[in-house]
Structures are given as structure tokens and as C-alpha cells.
Amino acid sequence: MARIGRIVVAFLVLGLLAAWWITRPQVVAADELPDHDPDPIAGERVFWAGGCASCHASLVDGKRARDGQKLLLGGGLEIDTPYGVFRVPNISSHADDGIGRWSMIDFTNAMQRGVSPSGRHYYPSFPYTSYAKMPTEDVMDLKAYLDTLPAVEGRNAGHALDFPWSLRRGIGAWKRRYLNAAAVIVVDSIDPMIERGRNLVEGAGHCGECHTPRDMFGGLQPARWLAGAPNPEGEGRVPNITPAGDNIAAWSVGDISYYLESGFTPEFDTVGGSMVAVQENMAMLPPADREAIAAYLKSVPARE
Amino acid sequence: MSYAKIRLSLVAVTLAYASLAIAGDDPRHVRHELMESVGKAAKPVGNMLKGERDFDAEVLMSSLRTFEDAAGRFGDLFPDDSRTGEDTEAAPAIWEDRAGFEEALARWQTAVADAIAAQPDTLDAARPVAEPVFQACKACHESYRIDDED
């Protein structure tokens, strides 16, 4: 009897060790970074494509930042979700409260592996599963740009999540299933403009995070890529933006680019909801980038 | 037909008219129709700005007049008892932040008045006065209109 007890305990211990091993944070080593001279000008473009300010800009009187206020990245926004409350951290260049002391490899691991400099998993409310698909050179350029932005004082409280989501280590298992650098839409040969659009939409722009439905574990469903999903922030739905989408089906590449630039649909209705902030960020990109996004959206498989 | 029946049908007809009149005056309907007319007027002007339609000063002025009329009447169409119902897209913020809503509306009125006063006769002259009109639409919708797509 005692022997069976010991065997059970041994299996339990082995199981826990295996789980610990499977869920360990996995990082890139500094010498694996590409040989690239980080360019802050190129990084500014990544900053707007990624919409970093939409979550990380300090709130102004409780409201979202506008124009120049978007460069003050003190965080503080609270995102109320079924998992609990996520609180957005300070990513300004402040040495103590922000990420001013981070090295290039710290930043890359945060963005593309969802791992903090101290080796802890980030929650995927920070959409690193999308950023993992960015060219690492773009991530490095972004860091160079963020380094030029003002230091903002103040640390925000941590997330307040419900059990079992509060068990951070479990994210390691989730990442095994959902975190990879591979493109979502893979084709044999790709037009350079569509490829640029794919980088922007699937990577920095993280469009799929709202426009693609999630499965029961909260991961995106690649088979329903950009096919529309319930609004994570309230009622209604985030629209289908594949060529089968109700509205977008009739829009030309020019219409989509113009919408991203101006916020007006071909019927001259205005952009609404959380897409307003996204559109205003997209308006900061060079016209060729908006066109690339539009060309990519026209090229993805139509999904009902 | 008896008098009673005639009286009854008269009452019925009167009631039907009364409910029609009420429906017609319902601010939720009036403002919806008004916005529909604004949208229709915006499209040709937007297409001029977008470069998809030749500039036409007459069309522009006619649209601006439609905006002027709507902007002048719009403020009175959000009484307290019209917050919900009839699929209204009016956001609760209209009543919770009335001053902000009035300010957003005033921004539209001013932009429209400025554009009319400018009497633009070329696209280059129209652009700087028409764009603020469109931006005012967008800014107000962002805060004071419910957006649940699909």
C-alpha cells in the first residue's frame, strides 16, 4: 500500500515538473537578434501602425488622449473583460516607472515572445501573438522610436484577474498553441504590396485581435480569419472585413484606403466605436501603407 | 349603419390619425430622418473631396443648406423621454454630458456657417472649409452615437 502511495506521489511530482517545463517562458537570446541598425524614423511608422497609444497613452481627464497627448505613454487604461480587469502599464521612457532601462533584447522578448525582462509571461491582452509575426527589424525600429518619447512618471496597479486566469504560469501552455511567427495567410507567391499589407494587418496592426473570432480558449481561429467577431467591449459585433463582409465587399482598394485616411465610408458615414482610434492611427501612415492594407484585405479568403 | 357604429368608426379614425401624428412627431423618428437627409447630402460633397466626382459649387451649396437646416433643429430633438427605444442610435452621453453634446453640435453649426459664408467656387477653395464640416460629423458621432455594427 505504502509502495502504491509512493508511486502515485512520484507520478504527481513528475506531472508537475512536466507542466512546469511545458509552461516555461521561452525567449530569444541577444545574439539571435538580426544584424540591424535600429531606425527611429521607421519606428514611428511602426508605432502608428501598431496603435500603441490607443492602450498605452495616459488618459486625459479619464478620456482617451488626442493628437500630441498620444506620445505620453504612462498607461492607466483599465480593460474590463470576462477574465477580470487588465490595467495597462507605463511604457514611456521613464527609467523606473516605464521601460527606459530595457535593452533591445528585453523589448523584443516582450513584443514577440510575451515575456517580461524578469522572465514572466505577459497576458495576451498585450497582443504579442500578433507582434510575433512582425519582422524583428520593425520591432527594433519601434524601440528606437519609443526611446525618443518623453518619460512619464507613475506606475499603475497590476491586473486584477479571476481564478484560474490569475495563474500566470498557465499562459505558457496557451502560448504553445497560439504563439508563432508564421503568417496566417500563406500563398505560394505574394505581391510585394500585399506582403507589406500582410505584415501590417497580421503583425503590428493586430487587426485580427478584434476582427477574428476566438475559440473556447481565447485563441484566434485562423479558419475564420478577419470574419468578424462579437465586440469585446460591449454590444454588437466587430465587422467581417474579408471580401465577404457585408459592407466592405463593395469597397474598392481606394475606398478602404480613404476610409483609413479620413474615417469616412463610401456612403460618407463616419467610422465608429473603437475603430475611431484605430483609423486615426492609420491616418498617420504613408498612403502606400494604407493602400497595402487595402490590397491585403482584398486578397484574403472570403469568409462568411 | 347605426349612429353608434358611425361614432365608433369616427373615434377609431381619429385615434388612428392621432397615433400617426404622434409617430410623426416622435423626436427619435424626426432626428433619424434628419440625419438620413444629412447623410444623403454629405455623399456628393464627400465624393468631391475624395476626388471621385467633379467639383460642383451648386451641389455643394445645396448640401451645406441641408446641413444648416438640420444643425439648427437638431439640438431640440433629444428630450429626456427619447433616450431609448425605436432603435435609436443616440448614446446615453447626450444626456449625461449635455454640455459636451451642445459643444459638438455648435462645432458643426459653426463649420457649416463658415463654409456657406466662404461661397467656395473651386475644389481648392472648398477643401479647407468643407473638411471641418466633415470632421465635426465624425467627432460628434464618436462620442454621442452608439456604434454597434452589423
What's the whole-number mean pLDDT along residues A110-122? 97
Contacts of A92 (CB under 8 A, 6+ apart): A72, A73, A74, A98, A99, A100, A149, A150, A151, A152
**CB–CB of A236/B148 below 8 Å?**
yes
DSSP character string of A94-142: -TTTSSTT--HHHHHHHHHH-B-TTSPBPPTTS-HHHHTTS-HHHHHHH
Q: Tell me the C-alpha distance between A82 and A156, whole Å.
A: 21
Indicate whether B27 pLDDT > 60.
yes
- Give me the amino acid identity at A45: R
Given this model, what pLDDT does residue B20 score?
47
pTM, 2 dp:
0.88
Please tell me which residue, B118 or B83, carries the higher pLDDT value.
Answer: B118
Residue A56: which of A277, A261, A293 has the closest Cα? A277
Q: Do A272 and B137 touch (CB under 8 A)?
A: no
- CB < 8 Å to A231, chain B: 148-149
- CB < 8 Å to A239, chain B: 149-150
**CB–CB of A172/A114 below 8 Å?**
no
Helix axis angle for A104-113 and A136-146, nearest 10°, is 120
**CB–CB of A303/A240 below 8 Å?**
yes
Count how many pairs of residues, chain A against chain B, have C-beta atoms within 8 Å: 51
Given this model, what pLDDT does residue A170 score?
92
In the three-class reduction of DSSP (H, G, I as helix; E, B as strand; rest coil), residue A178 is classed as helix
In the three-class reduction of DSSP (H, G, I as helix; E, B as strand; rest coil), residue A63 is classed as strand
- CB < 8 Å to B39, chain A: 267-269
Grid coordinates representing B68 are 444648416
Distance from CA of B32 to the nearest CA of A (A): 14
Contacts of B93 (CB under 8 A, 6+ apart): B100, B101, B143, B144
DSSP character string of A15-43: HHHHHHHHT------GGGS-S----HHHH
Given this model, what pLDDT does residue A51 score?
97
The DSSP code for A45 is H
The alpha carbon of A144 is separated from its chain's Cα centroid by a whole number of angstroms, namely 19
Among A52-66, A171-185, A218-232, B135-149, which stretch is predicted with the lowest mean pLDDT?
B135-149
Domains in chain B (CATH in brackets) are 27-144 (1.20.120.10)
Indicate whether A221 pLDDT > 80.
yes
pLDDT bracket for residue B5 (50, 70, 90): low
- CB < 8 Å to B148, chain A: 231, 234-237, 273
What's the whole-number mean pLDDT along residues A167-178? 95
Per-residue b/e over A286-297, b at no fewer than 16 CB within 10 Å?
eeebbbbbbbbb
Q: Tell me the C-alpha distance between A299 and A4, whole Å.
A: 60
Given this model, what pLDDT does residue B24 score?
64
Q: Do B150 and A267 touch (CB under 8 A)?
A: no
In the three-class reduction of DSSP (H, G, I as helix; E, B as strand; rest coil), residue B85 is classed as coil
- Give me the amino acid identity at B142: E
- Kindly report, residue by residue over A185-202, the tens digit of the pLDDT: 998 888 999 999 999 999
Q: Do A234 and B148 touch (CB under 8 A)?
A: yes
Query: Which residues 48-107 of B have a C-beta within 8 angstroms of A?
Result: 50
Q: Tell me the C-alpha distance between A174 and A218, whole Å.
A: 9
Please tell me which residue, B1 or A141, carries the higher pLDDT value.
Answer: A141
What are the CA-CA distances from residue A276 to residues A232, A272, A280, B138 (Å)? 15, 6, 6, 9
Given this model, what pLDDT does residue A161 score?
94
A258 CB within 8 Å of a chain B CB: yes
- CB < 8 Å to B45, chain A: 268
B43 CB within 8 Å of a chain A CB: yes
Distance from CA of B18 to the nearest CA of A (A): 34
A272 CB within 8 Å of a chain B CB: yes
Which residue of A235, A252, A270, A274 to mutate against B (max B Cβ within 10 Å)?
A270
Grid coordinates representing A30 are 541577444
Distance from CA of A232 to the nearest CA of B (A): 11
- Kindly report, residue by residue over B92-146, the tens digit of the pLDDT: 999 999 999 999 999 999 999 999 999 999 999 999 999 999 999 999 998 899 8
Distance from CA of A273 to the nearest CA of B (A): 5
